[in-house]
Structures are given as structure tokens and as C-alpha cells.
Structure 1
Amino acid sequence: MDGIKYAVLTEKSVQLLVGKNQHTSNVESGSTRTEIKHWVELFFGVKVVAMTSHRLPGKGRRMGPMMGQTMHYRRMIITLQPGYSIPPLFYKEKSFNQNT
């Protein structure tokens, strides 16, 4: 479970969750799709049908006169088989730790 950082709760991700049974979460940028699929299936006991991922760029940060950038990260949209769901406790714990 080390590769999955936290669940993403935005308006669009909630619509995907309710309408299409798709869960959105940010993951470590070095994790592969097969690793994430294995972790989700093992930890939550669900069947993953499909996965979509995209890399989001880091944000620019200024510290005095120097300009820096935060690390980029990866977002996964995981489609579960009908009848399966991830418990809401996963979302309640991590929803307040979002710094995006």
C-alpha cells in the first residue's frame, strides 16, 4: 500500500465514483500500473477492470528570489467490477491531507 498516497475527492472524481464506479487516487510517480492494481485488489479485496493514469506536473514555488518546483505526481483512475466498492473509510482518513 506504499504506492498509493491518498484518494482524490473533487467534484469530477465524486461524479465518476457515483456514476461509473471509478475511484481516483494519487500514487507514487515510480509505481507501475500492475503494482497499483495488485495493491488495490489485495488490500481492498476488489476486482479491477481497467486503470487509467496520467502524470500531473509539479507546481512552481518561490523561496525568496529563487524559483523552484514541487515534485510531479501521478493520478490513477481505477474502474472496479460492478458489485465491488472501496470502503468509505479510505476516503475519510485521507481527504483532509490533500495539498493539490
Structure 2
Amino acid sequence: MSPTKFNDARLLQVILAPQVSEKSTYVADKHEQVIFRVASDATKPEVKAAVELLFKVQVESVQIANVKGKQKRFGRFMGRRSDWKKAFVCLKPGQEINFTAGQ
């Protein structure tokens, strides 16, 4: 799918933030994947087009996981964090996304 198939304004709203954790850095080093927090209604083709548009890299594949929010206590009241969606973006060999380049 080419990035021109989707609306550019929509693609800018699909990716919310990179997911930075021990697991995400391990996955990035070992499998050449980058993990993003994405909009809850985002699809795999939209995520692929958005990453290619924003970071100027070639994407090989995308896996998406729905993350359930945790139960948390606020004093004596039980609350719940909201559910969210994360995308594992597999880059083609030789491709790399450097998040510290702009700083």
C-alpha cells in the first residue's frame, strides 16, 4: 500500500508516541522492530503508511496488540486505566529510526 492512498491528516494522528521500555529496546535490537503507541481505531495499513510518511523508512510488516488497562486503587475507590493499542513495526533490513536525531 502506498502512503498516497490515505489522508495525510489522518496519518499524522495515527501514531501517538514511541513506546520506550526495556522490552521495546530489546525487541528493537534483536528483531529490527520499533514499537509505537497508536490510535485505538488504527489499522495495520494505516500504521505502515504513517511510519513510512513520518520517518521516511520502508516497513516490512506490522503487528498490532490491544493492551488492556490495569485495575488501580484511588484511596478506597477502584479505578481502571483505559485500554490502548500498540503496534510492532518491522523495518526492512538496513532501515533504522533514530528518535534522538532532532535533539
Fold similarity call, TM over 0.5: yes
TM-score after normalising by structure 2: 0.76
Q: How many residues align?
A: 92
Gaps of 5+ in 1: 94-100
Residues 47 and 62, structure 2, Cα contact 8 Å, conserved in 1: no
Write the mapping of 1:31-70 to structure 2, written as runs, cut at 5 A.
31-63=42-74, 65-70=76-81
Structure-1-length-normalised TM-score: 0.78
The amino acid that maps onto 1:47 is Q
Q: Stretches of 4+ moved more than 3 A in 1?
A: 61-66
Q: What is the correspondence of 1:1-100 to structure 2 with a 5 Å cutoff?
A: 1-63=12-74, 65-89=76-100
Please give the root-mean-square deviation of Cα atoms over the aligned residues, in Å: 2.1
Deviation for aligned residue 1:64: 5.1
Mark the runs of 5 or more structure 2 residues left unpaired by the alignment.
Answer: 1-11
d(CA) in 1 for partners of 2:95, 2:48: 14
